[in-house]
Amino acid sequence: MEVLQLLVSGLANGCVYGLIALGFVLIYKATEAVNFAQGDFMMLGAFVTLGLTNAHYMGLPFWVAAPMAIAIMAVLGYLLDFFVLRHLFGQSQTAVVILTIALGFVIRFIAGAIWGHEPQTLESPLALGDIRLGGVVLGMADVAVIVVTVLLTIFLYQFFQRTKLGLAMQAASQNQMAAYFMGVPVKRVQGMIWGLSGAVAAVAGILFASKGAIDPNAGLLGIKAFAAAVIGGFGSLPGALAGGLIVGVIEPFASRYLAAGYSQIAPYALLLFVLVFRPHGLFSQVRTKKV
Amino acid sequence: MRIHFKTSYEHDIRLFPDWWTFFVYATLIVVAVLLPWIMDDFYLGEVTNVLIWAIAGLGLMLLTGQTGQASLGHAAFLAVGCYSCVIFMEQGLPFLIAFPAAGILTGIVGTIIAIPAVRLHGIYLAIATIALSILTDDLIVLMEPITDGVSGKFAPMITIFGIEIERWTTPDRFYWLVLAITIICTLIYRNLLRSPLGRAFAAVRDSEVSATAMGVHIARTKAASFGISCGITGLAGALMGFYAGAFNNETFSIVISITLLMMIVIGGLGSIHGAFFGAVVVAYLPQFLSIAKDAIGGGGVAIPGLETGVFGAILILFILFEPMGIYGRWMKIRIWFELFPFARKDMFKRQKSYLKTERLR
C-alpha cells in the first residue's frame, strides 16, 4: 500500500515536470532552441493566475482567471519572441541558451518585485478535498494534474502530427531555409510556438500552484523538468511526459529507500546515466545523416 | 594607421604583431605590478578578485569561445581545484607543488568527464554539465571525511620560499601572486592558440565536418580542450578558495557556473580580452549596484535577486545588440579610428545564417 501511495504522489509530481518538459520540447521541436526560462515561465503563469484569483489581489473567480492567465502567458510568449528572440534568428543554439538563462533571472526578479518573495498559495477549487481509493489517498489537485497532463499531451501530439500548422512548425525546425522556400512563414510560426509554450507553461503553473505554495524561486524546478525532457529525448512529446513521470516517480522512492544525501541526486544521476549510454534520450529522434 | 604586411608564417604567429602592441602590454604589466603603491587595500582586494575571475573566465573561454562547447558546469571544476589544492597543502605539500598539482588533477578529472561528454552535441553537453554542477554540491557533502561537508574548510597560509602570503594580512603579496599566475595563464592560452592544437580547436568550433575533413580528430580535440580548460579553471578555483578564506559545499553553486558563462559572453566570446572585460563587469557590478541604490535613497534595503536580474538584463542587451561583447565593441571603435575616415558601417555586418536541425546529423 505504501508503495502504491508513493507511486501515485510520484506520478502527480511527475506530471508537473512533464508539463514543463512539454514546453521545452515544443520550442525545441519547432525552433531547435532550448528555452532555459521555461521553469520561470511556469512560475510566472502561476503568479499571474494567483494575482487574478486571490482575494488579496484582483479576486476574480478561478474559472475566469485561469483562461485569462493562459491567454496572457500566450501573448507574453509571442511578444517575447517578437521583441527578443527574433533578433537571434539563425544564430547558434548557445546564444539562445545563454539568452534564456538570463531571461529566467530577469523574470524571477520581476516576479519577486511584484508579488514578493514569501511563498503564497493559490485559492484554487482544485486544491480542496481528497479521494480515498482503498487506502490510497489522492488529492483532488493530483487527479486534476494527471488528467490535464495526459489530455494536453495527446492534444499537442495530434496537433504536431495532423494539422498543417504543426507540420509547418516541424519543417521550420528541420531546415529554416527550405521551409521558407516551401512557403512556411518561418518567423510567424516561431512566434506562435513561443505563444503556445507560454500557454502550456501557464497550465503547468496553475496546476503546480494548486498542489502547494509558490514563490519566485519555484522556477528552479525547471532544471528537474529539464532532466525529464532529456531522459525522454528532446523533440518527442510523449517522451517528455514519460521522462517527467520517471523523474517524478524516482524522487519519492529514492527519498524513502535511499540514505539521506543520496536521494536528491537520484534524478541527476539518472540524467547523466541516460546521457552517457543513450545520448539522445530514451525516445531518440537522431539519425545520422549520410553525406 | 598600422599596416601588418605578412610575408611569412612567422609573421602570422608572432606573439605581438608589432612593437607598439608590445609596448602597450608591457606598460600595462608595469602599471599592474606597481598597483599596490597606488591603491589602498580595499580596492587592491577588488582588483585581485577581478584577476581571479579572469583566470576562471580564460578557462571557460578556451572551451566555449575557442572550441565552441558551452559548459554550464564549470563551478564543479572550480570546486575540484579549490578542494584539492587545500587538501594537498593540509597533507604537508608546499604551495608551489600543491597549486600546479591541483590544476593538473582538475584537468585529469575534466578529461575523464569529457570522454562521455564529447559525444554530446551543443545543448546536450550544456545539460550534462548542469547536472554535474548540481551533483558537485551533494558530492561534497557526501564526501565529508575528505571535504568536511557542510561545515567547510579554511584556506591555510601560503608560504613560498619562506615568504608568507595571506589575503587579509598581506594583500599586496597575494595580489602579486595572483597577478603572476594570471600572466602565466594568459601566456599559456595565447601560445596554445598559436599551436596546432589551438588551430584544431578553432576548426572544431567553426565546422566539425570540415575539421574532420582536414584530419582533426574531433573527440580527441574536444577532450583536450575540456581538460586544459578545466585545468585553468581549477587553478582559478584554488585562488578563489584562498581569496574567500573559507568555503563549503555551497560556495561553488550552479549560479557561479552560469555567472561564469554569462561573464565571457558579456566580455566577448573567443578573445582573451573578453575574459578580462567580463571579469571587471562581474566583480564590480555588486559594488556599482549598492552605490546606485544609495544614490536613489534605497540604501539599507536588500532586494533579493536584484544583482542577477540586472546582470541578466545587461546580458540580454549584449546578445541582442552586440553579440561580440565588450571586446567586439572596443574593436569596432578602434578600427573606426584607425581607418578614419574610411570606416563603413557594413564592415561588421554578420553573415546571414540559417538553422538546420541537429536531430539529423
pLDDT above 70: percentage of residues in chain B? 93
Rounded distance, CA A14 to CA A249, Å? 6
Comparing A31-45, A83-97, A240-254, B325-339, the range with the smallest average pLDDT is: A83-97
B337/chain A closest Cα distance in angstroms: 28
| pLDDT, tens digit, 9 for 90 and up, residues B229-256 | 999 999 999 999 888 888 887 888 888 8
CB-CB neighbors (< 8 A) of B116 in chain A: 275-276
On whether residue B179 sits in a domain, the answer given is: yes
Give me the pLDDT at residue B77, please.
92
8 Å CB contact between A157 and A237: yes
Cβ of A110 and B309 within 8 Å?
yes
Cβ of B138 and A94 within 8 Å?
no
pLDDT above 90: percentage of residues in chain B? 16
pTM across the whole model: 0.86
Cβ of A288 and B354 within 8 Å?
no
- The chain A residue lying nearest B352, using CA atoms, is A90
On whether residue B48 sits in a domain, the answer given is: yes
On whether residue B353 sits in a domain, the answer given is: no
Q: Is the pLDDT of residue A50 over 60?
A: yes
DSSP code per residue over A105-130: HHHHHHHHHHH-SS-B----GGGS-E
Among A100, A64, A94, smallest CA distance to A194 is for A100
- The chain B residue lying nearest A102, using CA atoms, is B312
* Domain encompassing residue B128: 39-254
Check CB contact of B138 with chain A, cutoff 8 Å.
Answer: yes
- Angle between the A221-232 and A38-53 helix axes, to the nearest 10 degrees? 130
8 Å CB contact between B66 and B225: yes
| Contacts of B360 by beta carbon, 8 Å cutoff, 6+ apart | A174, A286, A287, A288, A289
Cβ of A230 and B355 within 8 Å?
no
Check CB contact of B312 with chain A, cutoff 8 Å.
Answer: yes
- The chain B residue lying nearest A268, using CA atoms, is B131
CB-CB neighbors (< 8 A) of A91 in chain B: 323, 353
On whether residue B92 sits in a domain, the answer given is: yes
In whole angstroms, how far apart are CA A35 and each of A2, A20, A41, B21? Answer: 37, 11, 10, 42
- The chain B residue lying nearest A275, using CA atoms, is B128
Check CB contact of B218 with chain A, cutoff 8 Å.
Answer: no
8 Å CB contact between A1 and A135: yes
| Contacts of B193 by beta carbon, 8 Å cutoff, 6+ apart | B66, B199, B201, B202
Phi, psi values for residue A194, rounded to 5°: -65, -40
Give the confidence band of A25 by pLDDT, cuts at 50, 70, 90. confident
pLDDT above 70: percentage of residues in chain A? 91
Smallest Cβ distance to B138: which of A264, A286, A288? A264
- The chain A residue lying nearest B150, using CA atoms, is A261
Give me the pLDDT at residue B229, please.
92
Give the confidence band of A290 by pLDDT, cuts at 50, 70, 90. very low
Rounded distance, CA A168 to CA A172, Å? 6
Enumerate the domain spans of chain A. Answer: 14-220
Give me the pLDDT at residue B358, please.
53
Cβ of B354 and A93 within 8 Å?
no
Chain A with chain B: Cβ pairs closer than 8 A: 148
CB atoms within 10 A of CB B306: 17
Cβ of B309 and A261 within 8 Å?
no
Phi, psi values for residue A289, rounded to 5°: -80, 140
Give me the pLDDT at residue B357, please.
55
Domain count, chain B: 1
Which one has a higher pLDDT value, A96 or A195? Answer: A195
Which one has a higher pLDDT value, A56 or B71? Answer: B71
| pLDDT, tens digit, 9 for 90 and up, residues A157-202 | 888 888 888 888 888 777 777 888 888 888 888 888 889 889 989 9
Cβ of A90 and B68 within 8 Å?
no
Q: What are the beta bridge partners of residue A144? A: none
Q: What are the beta bridge partners of residue B160? A: B163
**Mean pLDDT, rounded, for B98-120:** 86
**Mean pLDDT, rounded, for A92-107:** 84
8 Å CB contact between B288 and A125: no
Give the confidence band of B2 by pLDDT, cuts at 50, 70, 90. low
Q: How far is CA B122 from the centre of its chain?
A: 19
Interface test with B, best of A98, A108, A175, A287 (most B CBs within 10 A): A98
Give me the pLDDT at residue A291, please.
43
8 Å CB contact between B328 and A255: no
| pLDDT, tens digit, 9 for 90 and up, residues B29-64 | 998 888 888 888 888 888 899 999 999 999 999 988
**In B, residues 103-122, which contact A (CB 8 Å cutoff)?**
116, 119-120, 122
B180/chain A closest Cα distance in angstroms: 32
Q: Is the pLDDT of residue B1 over 60?
A: no
8 Å CB contact between B128 and B117: yes
On whether residue B79 sits in a domain, the answer given is: yes
**Mean pLDDT, rounded, for B275-287:** 87
CB-CB neighbors (< 8 A) of A280 in chain B: 124, 359
Give me the pLDDT at residue B300, please.
57
Q: What is the dihedral of CA B16, B19, B21, B23, to 10 degrees?
A: 120
Q: Is the pLDDT of residue A259 over 80?
A: no
Cβ of B353 and A90 within 8 Å?
yes
**Mean pLDDT, rounded, for A218-245:** 81
Check CB contact of B32 with chain A, cutoff 8 Å.
Answer: no
Rounded distance, CA B79 to CA B140, Å? 9
> What value does the mean pLDDT of chain B take?
83
CB-CB neighbors (< 8 A) of B261 in chain A: 98, 101
CB-CB neighbors (< 8 A) of A106 in chain B: 309, 312-313, 316
Give me the pLDDT at residue B351, please.
65
Give me the pLDDT at residue B235, please.
92
CB-CB neighbors (< 8 A) of B319 in chain A: 88, 95, 98-99, 102
On whether residue B248 sits in a domain, the answer given is: yes
The sign one gets for the Cα dihedral B264, B255, A272, B102 is positive
**Mean pLDDT, rounded, for B123-148:** 81
Q: Is the pLDDT of residue A289 over 50?
A: no
Rounded distance, CA B273 to CA A79, Å? 35
**In B, residues 284-303, which contact A (CB 8 Å cutoff)?**
303
CB atoms within 10 A of CB B83: 27
Which one has a higher pLDDT value, B16 or A202? Answer: A202
Q: Which three cell numbers stand for residue A120?
A: 503564497
Give the confidence band of B15 by pLDDT, cuts at 50, 70, 90. confident
Q: Is the pLDDT of residue B183 over 90?
A: yes
Give the confidence band of A113 by pLDDT, cuts at 50, 70, 90. confident
SS (H, E, C) chain B: CCCCCCCCHHHHHCCCCCHHHHHHHHHHHHHHHHHHHHCCHHHHHHHHHHHHHHHHHHHHHHHHHHCCCCCCCHHHHHHHHHHHHHHHHHCCCCHHHHHHHHHHHHHHHHHHHHHHHCCCCHHHHHHHHHHHHHHHHHHHHHCHHHHCHHHCEECCCEEECCEEECCCCCHHHHHHHHHHHHHHHHHHHHHHHHCHHHHHHHHHHHCHHHHHHCCCCHHHHHHHHHHHHHHHHHHHHHHHHHHHCEECCCCCCHHHHHHHHHHHHHHCCCCHHHHHHHHHHHHHHHHHHHHHHHHHCCCCCCCCCHHHHHHHHHHHHHHHHCCCHHHHHHHHHHHHHHCCCCCCHHHHCCCCCCCECCCEC
**Mean pLDDT, rounded, for B114-138:** 78
Q: Is the pLDDT of residue B137 over 60?
A: yes
Give me the pLDDT at residue B361, please.
42
Cβ of B360 and A216 within 8 Å?
no
Comparing B141-150, B296-305, B308-317, the range with the smallest average pLDDT is: B296-305
